[in-house]
Amino acid sequence: MEVSTVEDGDMSKLKGLANHDQKNMEENISSNDMIFRADKIDLKSLDVQLEKHLSRVWSSNVENQNQRPREVWEIDPSKLEIRYLVAQGTYGTVYRGTYVNQDVAVKLLDWGEDGMTTAALRASFQQEVTVWQKLDHPNVTKFVGASMGTSNLKILSKNPSEGYTTLPSRACCVLVEFLHGGTLKKYLYKNRKKKLPFKIVIQLALDLSRGLSYLHSEKIVHRDVKAENMLLDTDTTLKIADFGVARVEAQNPQDMTGETGTLGYMAPEVLDGKPYNRKCDVYSFGICLWEIYCCDLPYPDLSFAEVSSAVVRQNLRPEIPRCCPSSLSNVMKKCWDGHPEKRPEMEEVVRLLEAIDTSKGGGMIPEDVAGSCICFRPIRGP
């Protein structure tokens, strides 16, 4: 049998051809052909790199704001003067300010230098603008404008000697009308001993119910109805504020889940992590109605775990005072029914409240007169 041999020169040529073919193969390989060892991939590093990339993209978007047409709701930051701190909330800090000679409340959110830890807050803030800017109702705080990525705003320090503080370039803000009456919560606390005249109780309840009825007609669920999120003007007209967690109602209730809201006002289905709809606002309204009448807080001495369990499992509700007219107490009970489908629509609540006769009184008895008329105890509701 003959054995073929390869001379040294021929061997060199073969090696050259092999190397050339390998190089061509490497150049022509596609991403689909690449194989990675999973244990060699640093997922944490990839996450960090992705976050940094997204942050750079967002920074670029902010820097290029002036190169695109301005949205109808966008303000001119150079015309905004921020004066002093009003309150700090879950979704931002509120200041009083002036914009084009108009008194405004300025809600600010600082996204931080890197923007990496505030993605959820950023999304919430953008959602708030989307919801708020299209609303127009006498019982909803009027939206003035917003700026997503405001720079060079100056805030006057509480100590005048410290002068002004300039905000980071990533700060954004929402402007709404400034209401001089403060929050409903502060108003109720101020009247906790002498209580409110029945006529004022019904007026506040009607303002809130009309505002919520309007939101629901626009397919918007507020999801955080509470006294702290209601503002009053100088003639005690109530207006709904703070749309940080509001959202357009999903057609499929399964798409709306999660514990969203404030303890004491949250509906059983929300506390239990079940799907919910606009009826969670109706439940919260019922608690607010009790609060307006009593000028008191629901469940002041119970922990989150105690309230959650008792509201869901034992039908815990605030105790309605005996002096409360049945026409009003019935509205409370209907609104905070444990079954969402049995709760009335806010449009019906408005009609029920409008039918209540306030000419004969019926308000909460002041503490210095009745003493123990309002004795809150954690009991099982109706």
The residues carrying an active-site annotation are 224
C-alpha span between 241 and 223 (Å, rounded): 12
Tokens 């942050």 -> residue: 55
The whole-angstrom separation of Cα 221 and Cα 245 is 9
On the 0-12 / 13-18 / 19+ scale of CB atoms within 10 A, 171 is: buried
Could you tell me which residues come within 8 angstroms of residue 266 by beta carbon, excluding any fewer than 6 positions away? Answer: 259, 280, 283, 284, 311
Name the residue type at position 294: C
Q: How far apart are CA 193 and CA 190, in angstroms?
A: 8
Taking alpha carbons only, the member of 244, 124, 226 closest to residue 184 is 226
Q: For tokens 């109530």, name the residue.
A: 238
Alpha carbons 318 and 329: distance in angstroms, whole number: 11
Q: Roughly how many angstroms between the first and final C-alpha of the chain, as a whole number?
A: 104
Q: 226 and 284 in contact (C-beta within 8 Å)? A: yes
Return d(Cα 208, Cα 140) in angstroms, integer: 9
Tokens 């949250």 — which residue? 266
Measure the CA–CA gap between 83 and 233, rounded to whole angstroms: 20
